[in-house]
A and B are shown apart, each in its own frame.
Chain A
Amino acid sequence: MSEGGHPDVILCPGGPMLLRGDHVVQDADGVEHHTTRPVSAVCRCGKSSIQPWCDGTHKVLPPKLRP
Chain B
Amino acid sequence: MLIPKGRGSLSEALFEGMRTNRSTFTDVLTTLADDDADLHISLWALYEMHYRGFEDVDDSLEWHPELIELRRSLESTFEQELRDRQPEVEIKEPFAEALFDFIAGHDGASLAAFVQRDATTEQVLEIMQMRTIYHLKEADPTAFVVPRLSAGPKAALMELQYDEYGGGSPVRLHSALFVRGLEAMGLRTEYGAYIDDVPVEVLHDNNAMSLFALNRRLRGASLGHLAAFEATSSLPSRRMAQGLERLGLAPEMIDYYTEHVEADAVHEQLAVRTICGALVAEEPWLVPDVFFGAFTCLDLEDRFARRMLDEWAA
Spell out A's residues near B (CB within 8 Å). Answer: 5-6, 10, 12-16, 18, 37-41, 48-50, 53-57, 59-60
Contacts and interface: CB of A to CB of B under 8 A. Distances in A.
10 contacts: A6-B155, A10-B274, A15-B269, A37-B167, A37-B263, A39-B270, A41-B265, A55-B234, A55-B235, A55-B262
Task: Determine the main DSSP class of A at the interface with B.
Answer: loop
B155 A18 contact: no
Interface string B152-172: 100100010011000100000
Contacts, number: 59
A5 B265 contact: no
Interface of B: 96-97, 100, 104, 152, 155, 159, 162-163, 167, 234-235, 238, 261-266, 268-270, 273-274, 278
B96 to A, nearest CB: 8
A54 B266 contact: yes
A55 B97 contact: no
A16 B97 contact: no
Nearest to B258: A50
B278 to A, nearest CB: 8
A13 B97 contact: yes
A57 B236 CA distance: 11
Contact of B238 (A39, A40, A49): A49
B235 A57 contact: yes
A57 B200 CA distance: 33
A59 B238 CA distance: 14
B162 A55 contact: no
B235 A38 contact: no
Nearest to B161: A38
Contacts of A55: 234-235, 238, 261-262, 265
B262 A18 contact: no
A49 B273 CA distance: 24
A48 B236 CA distance: 14
Contacts of A60: 235
Nearest to A49: B238
Contacts of A39: 159, 163, 266, 270
Contacts of B155: 6
Nearest to B273: A12
Contacts of B234: 55-56
A13 B273 CA distance: 10
B261 A56 contact: yes
A49 B242 CA distance: 13
Given A5-B152, A55-B262, A38 B167 contact: yes
Given A39-B159, A50-B261, A59 B269 contact: no
